[in-house]
Amino acid sequence: MNSPLMCFWKDKNRRFVGASQSFLRYYGLSAVDELIGKTDEDMHWHIENGPFHDDEVEVLTQGKSIIGARGTCIVGGKLHHILANKMPVYEDGKIVGLLGFFVDLEQQLADEKNYTKGRLEDPITGLNNLRGLAENMNHYLEEFWHHGRKFCVMGFYIKEYEQFRRTFGDTAGNAYLKAIGQVLQDVFDHMAILAYVIDGQFYVIMQYENPADMQQIQQEAVRHIESIHHVGEWRCTCTAKTTLSYVNKENAGVFRYEQMMYQFMQELGKADGEMEPEADKRLTGPESE
């Protein structure tokens, strides 16, 4: 309950059996019941599931201890780099599960005052900025190229933001953006990378299996955004114009990465700031298996 160590333990099938309070707090879980019986894949914490899965299989089948394995996880809509440690748990001479803990490298570096998070973080919302969005997209592309894990890019343009900021000032405008960012964090939890770019434009990168699921969760996000009617002391209206782009084999080739990012930047830099449904086709083309 009180240990600062972010530790967890799993059964023979890699399903969570328990975790420390620090672990639950790190992932924003209110109770261990939200975790028990699920795997990492069920929780959608990792862009790259393969290394975590393979390490745990070695622990459970060979009794191998994994020390200081580098990896990444999604926390609060941002990618964090971690060092993971896992070891077998024995009962009557047989492996019955594993015990693990990890260290967040970003937190460790911040504690040592050697880490400047502003390079990738938007100072108003706390989400990724444009640079963070581009760097994280590269992680998703590499996982797609090497393991075929599909992902999509969602766009949310809040068209009332500029008028609201001009009317009530920068302080109110910042509170408005924070409210939108918090809604996206609540909806997407630790399953996606979130970013605020400019002029009321937010983006989400998320892996998927069924395209219909992505349409559903995007619609849920829109409903939550449009339910915001007060920001601090100010009354407001929030409506979201959206795009949904699926990355596929035809548009995510290694040699097309630079072209795709250039097109993406062009969409962000539109003079009128509008996001149009056609943009998703220009950016990534139709969804394809």
What φ, ψ does residue 277 adopt, rounded to 5°? Answer: -55, -30
Residue bearing the bigger pLDDT, 279 or 239: 239
Closest CA to 80 of 112, 141, 128, 123: 128
DSSP β-bridge partners for residue 282: none
E strands, 31-161, where? 66-75, 78-91, 94-104, 151-158
In the structure, what pLDDT confidence band is assigned to residue 286 with cuts at 50, 70 and 90? very low
Q: Which CATH class is domain 6-111?
A: alpha beta
- What does the pLDDT read at residue 189? 81
**Is the C-alpha dihedral spanning 208, 84, 52, 142 positive or negative?**
positive
Closest CA to 74 of 197, 177, 184, 217: 184
Q: What is the mean pLDDT of residues 223-238?
A: 94
- Would you give the DSSP letter of residue 129? -
- What does the pLDDT read at residue 135? 80
Structure tokens at 123: 């100072």
Domain residues of the chain, as ranges? 6-111, 119-284
In whole angstroms, give the CA distance from residue 196 to residue 183: 13
Structure tokens at 135: 């760097």
Structure tokens at 267: 């969409």
What is the side-by-side order of every strand in the sheet holding 192-198? 192-198, 201-207, 151-158, 240-246
- Which CATH fold topology does 119-284 show? Alpha-Beta Plaits (3.30.70)
* CA 284-224-226 angle, 5° bins: 90
Burial of 269 (0-12, 13-18, 19+ CB in 10 A): exposed
- What does the pLDDT read at residue 262? 55
Percent of the chain predicted with pLDDT > 90: 46
Global confidence as pTM? 0.64
Residue range 166-199, pLDDT digits in tens: 999 999 999 999 999 999 999 998 889 999 988 8
